[in-house]
């Protein structure tokens, strides 16, 4: 039987993934790349939930992960549809060039 990795390893990996996602959202201007970075941040939060659920021997964190994955799937469907519609209209997905949703 192998020993499980300490929870700190999972939380460190989760923090690194979340930081990479946040840095990508703040620095990149391509809407699709920003969208992928947001998904990376959601997956980092899911990893932390699963790590805590395993540490506490509870299924509550796994239930929350299920709901986060459901919201992420809906967000992916709606977000990609919006990005495709904007690209068809403006021929770009650069966030600086898009003023379509502003007042």
Provide the 3-class DSSP secondary structure of residue 103: coil
In tens, the pLDDT along 3-55 reads 678 999 999 999 999 999 999 999 988 888 998 999 999 999 999 999 999 99
Going by C-beta distance under 8 Å and a sequence separation of 6 or more, which residues neighbour residue 88?
A: none
| Per-residue model confidence (pLDDT) at position 27 | 93
pLDDT tens string 64-88: 999 999 999 998 899 889 888 888 8
CATH number belonging to domain 30-95: 1.10.287.3510
Q: pTM here? A: 0.83
Contact by Cβ (8 Å): 30, 97: no
Q: Is the pLDDT of residue 98 over 90?
A: no
């Amino acid at each position: 039987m192998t020993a499980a990795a300490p929870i700190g390893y999972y939380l460190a990996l989760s923090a690194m993934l979340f930081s990479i996602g946040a840095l990508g959202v703040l620095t990149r201007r391509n809407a699709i790349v920003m969208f992928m970075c947001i998904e990376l941040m959601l997956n980092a939060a899911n990893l932390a939930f699963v790590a805590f659920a395993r540490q506490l021997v509870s299924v509550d964190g796994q239930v929350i992960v299920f709901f986060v994955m459901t919201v992420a799937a809906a967000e992916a469907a709606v977000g990609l549809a919006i990005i495709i519609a904007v690209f068809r209209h403006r021929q770009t997905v650069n966030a600086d060039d898009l003023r379509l949703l502003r007042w």
